[in-house]
Amino acid sequence: MKNIGIWMDKEKAHIIRLDNKDENMETIFSEVEFFNRKGTSGPRVKTGATQDVKHERTYLEREKAQLKTYFKKLVDAVGDADAIALFGPADTNEKFRKELLENHKGLANKLKAVTKADSMTENQTKALVRDFFGQKK
């Protein structure tokens, strides 16, 4: 039985595969850009408003497209799973769950949990996944 645990945030996803006694880890990077607003993008003399709203909207659309590409890579990597558990510190795992429910129903049915988990070392991440699926090393 192939159990897969994914610890993910916007930057990367650690995919831990547990297959009988075998255990391996793969990391997929997201390429989602970090958005840092640099203040107003022009004078407010004429309108009294900043131009940041347009830039923020553009960034959010770009981020949405980049997340979709990231999630596609993850779906391709875990397509052979029998059971999947998602872990992570932010809401990226919830967004991935939503993507699975909307566009990948077969994988969504294999989803066992979506759990908050802080940043951890690779060994801690592997232990978390082993504990979740109740497998001994």
Position 95 in a domain = yes
Position 39 in a domain = no
End-to-end C-alpha distance for the chain, whole angstroms: 15
Position 77 in a domain = yes
**CA gap 87, 104 in Å, rounded:** 19
Amino acid (1-letter code) at residue 9: D
Position 88 in a domain = yes
Domain that includes residue 104, residue range: 2-34+51-133
Position 59 in a domain = yes
Which of 85, 88, 91, 96 shows the shortest CA–CA distance to 120? 88
Query: Can you give the pTM of this predicted structure?
Result: 0.81
Question: What is the reported pLDDT for 94?
Answer: 94
Strand partners for 12: 29
Please count the structural domains in the chain. 1
The model's pLDDT over 30-45, given as tens digits with 9 standing for 90+, comes to: 988 776 655 555 555 5
Position 19 in a domain = yes
**Residue 15: CATH number of its domain:** 3.30.420.60
Question: What is the reported pLDDT for 21?
Answer: 78
**CA gap 126, 6 in Å, rounded:** 10
